[in-house]
Amino acid sequence: MKVGIVGAGMVGSSAGYALAVMGTVSSVVLVDRNAELAIAQAEDIAHAVPFMSSCVVEAGEYDQLAGASVVILAAGVSQKPGETRLALLERNAAVFRDVVGNVLRVAPDAILLIASNPVDIMTQITVRLSGLPAARVIGSGTILDTARFRSLLGRHLGISPQSVHAYVLGEHGDSEVLAWSNARAGSLSLAGFAAQVGSAITADVRARIDDGVRNAAYKIIKGKGATYYGIGAGLARIVKAIAQDQQEVLTVSMVNREIEGVADVALSIPRVIGAKGIVTDLFPDLDAEESAALHRSAALLKETVEAVSL
Ligand code: ADP
């Protein structure tokens, strides 16, 4: 399977590297308006390939995306320290006007996988710009927030993140919702598991984990200027679900007809992903507080997307 990546900056190249490491696709093509950067990133990633897989990694023009099954859109301007994701919107919407038309001209059947922030808004803008069915325009959404939530819960409980089933819903950003009420460890409720291993989830623990998930990106950006390895791996995980038609449940963003009473808005809930893109939406059981928080997150995103003129 061929995967295109438009935007060979930190996020796009990290996704390319993760795809090459995982070896689930046969070809990766990097495109960037800075051709020299795309060539350099592709060469660097290609030199890692002999140590781990047989993926062909190249740089190219848009024409080389012909035949791509998935195109990752990671082009844009990066988040500066202190800048909110929503403040990036106007700058990145302009970039997407250029990119989406160029991609669809050569790869009209591709699934578009959106990585640029603010990702929920960019996902909705891409549906508007492309006219594609919503299920073929997937935003990376809270895939990484969910991974962070599982990782922190797993560390507290002394188990692998893969044994924790917990989801972060809504906006990939400040208004996201950690769904504590339906989180499980192994086959047990969180409280039941925590009691058995003697690691109670106190109010303090909960606040620390909430902060660790919600503010992870801000902390990483403060220390190193950008976040990319985590999201690169998350994007490669979504591509793997598509490439192998895995029917995997992942929290990704998509334009929904209605969420918590808010119509036509893109945000993350758990969804089943396979070869055709998003196959099924899974509306989680939430308590009243979480439902209200998800409504607020949806309403905020809706308000923002309505402000964008295309
Ligand atoms: P991030 O950390 O989100 O990856 P970067 O700034 O490292 O941010 O990467 C964004 C990339 O998107 C840059 O390499 C930039 O050249 C590219 N880019 C910006 N605008 C366009 C465009 N219109 N077409 C193609 N690539 C673009």
Q: What is the pLDDT of residues 162-206, one digit of tens each?
A: 999 999 999 999 999 999 999 999 999 999 999 999 999 999 999
Contact 93, 25 (CB under 8 A): no
pLDDT tens digit string along 196-242? 999 999 999 999 999 999 999 989 999 999 999 999 999 999 999 99
Q: Which of 139, 154, 186 is the last residue of a domain?
A: 139
Same domain, 104 and 192: no
Helix or strand or coil: residue 75? Answer: coil
C-alpha of residue 228 to centroid of ligand 1, in Å: 13
pLDDT tens digit string along 240-295? 999 999 999 999 999 999 999 999 999 999 999 999 999 999 999 999 999 999 99
Contact 273, 241 (CB under 8 A): yes
Q: Which residues are annotated as a binding site?
A: 7-12, 32, 62, 76-77, 79, 85, 92, 115-120, 140, 145-148, 150, 165, 227
Q: What's 169's domain CATH number? A: 3.90.110.10
Same domain, 210 and 194: yes
Q: How many domains does the chain have?
A: 2
C-alpha of residue 144 to centroid of ligand 1, in Å: 20
C-alpha of residue 83 to centroid of ligand 1, in Å: 17
Ligand 1 pocket: which of 5, 14, 34, 224 to mutate (most atoms within 8 A of CB): 34
Q: What is the per-residue pLDDT for 55?
A: 96
Which pTM does this prediction carry? 0.96
Contact 231, 16 (CB under 8 A): no
Same domain, 131 and 147: no
Q: Which of 139, 170, 202 is the last residue of a domain?
A: 139
Structural domain range at position 64: 2-139
In DSSP terms, 138 is beta-bridged to 113
Same domain, 67 and 160: no
Tokens 């029917």 sit on residue? 247
Give mean pLDDT, residues 86-92: 78
Q: Which residues are annotated as a binding site for substrate?
A: 79, 85, 117-120, 145-148, 227
Q: What is the DSSP letter of 170?
A: B
Same domain, 105 and 177: no
Phi and psi angles of residue 143, each rounded to the nearest 5 degrees, phi first = -55, -40
| Residue nearest ligand 1's atom 7 by CA | 9
Q: What's 35's domain CATH number? A: 3.40.50.720
| Residue nearest ligand 1's atom 9 by CA | 9
Report the Cα 270 to chain-centroid distance in Å: 12
Q: Indicate if the pLDDT at residue 135 is higher than 80.
A: yes
Same domain, 89 and 192: no
